[in-house]
Structure 1
Amino acid sequence: MALLKKLTEREIDRIIEMAWEDRTTFDAIFRQFGMPEKEVIKLMRREMKESAFKRWRKRVQNRQTKHQKNRPGGELYRFKCSRQKPISLNKIT
């Protein structure tokens, strides 16, 4: 939880963006921000409405693309889909 206090609003926004992106793994978030999956979940719970958080959790639980070790076809280190719209302050721009 101490890590959450050190993050800027822009970094929090980027982590949320990465967590919503289906092809961005929790491992990629950890490599870029040093935040493990459990901390990402705490951040998402804190920053999102309860209904949005529940929808996100349901979608990412056991999803192959969110966990590097479960991905079919080897390693993929993409942080962001090239077709993804940028998100600013948790709103799609």
Structure 2
Amino acid sequence: MPKAPVKRFRRLPDDEQSRVIEMAWEDRTPFEAIETLFGLAEPDVIEVMRHQLKPASFRLWRTRVTGRDTKHQTPNTKHQTPNTKLCARRMFYVDIAQRNISAEIH
């Protein structure tokens, strides 16, 4: 009988289920991001992965993520996630400004 996290996971659309598993496999995606997007905490993700993967694949995944710093956000960066649109806009304007300056020089 599947546990509550697995039942919650199964209620997600297929594309979101696939995304949760993909994010869990990614080395740089912290568990906190999965929790923010899908409401599944680290123990829930572990339970889902245990249920969705073959036993050997699950063991391989667990050895990869156990103790990995990149799978956990540090307390200082937890609330400092950059707004990507804002960062992209800033980089765009900096690029334009640099082009204008170099055009004035030449």
Partner residue of 1:32? Answer: 37
Is residue 11 from structure 1 mapped to residue 11 from structure 2 by the alignment? no
Greater relative contact order (CA < 8 Å, ≥ 6 in sequence): 1
Q: Per-residue displacement from partner, 1:14-38 (whole Å, max 9, x unpaired)?
A: 0000000000000000011111011
- The number of equivalent residue pairs is 76
Alignment of 1:50-65 (within 5 A): 50-65=55-70
Larger Rg: 2
Q: Per-residue displacement from partner, 1:51-73 (whole Å, max 9, x unpaired)?
A: 00000001100100001127xx8
After TM superposition, the score normalised by the length of structure 2 is 0.64
- Gaps of at least 5 residues in structure 1 are 79-93
Higher strand share: 1
Higher helix share: 2
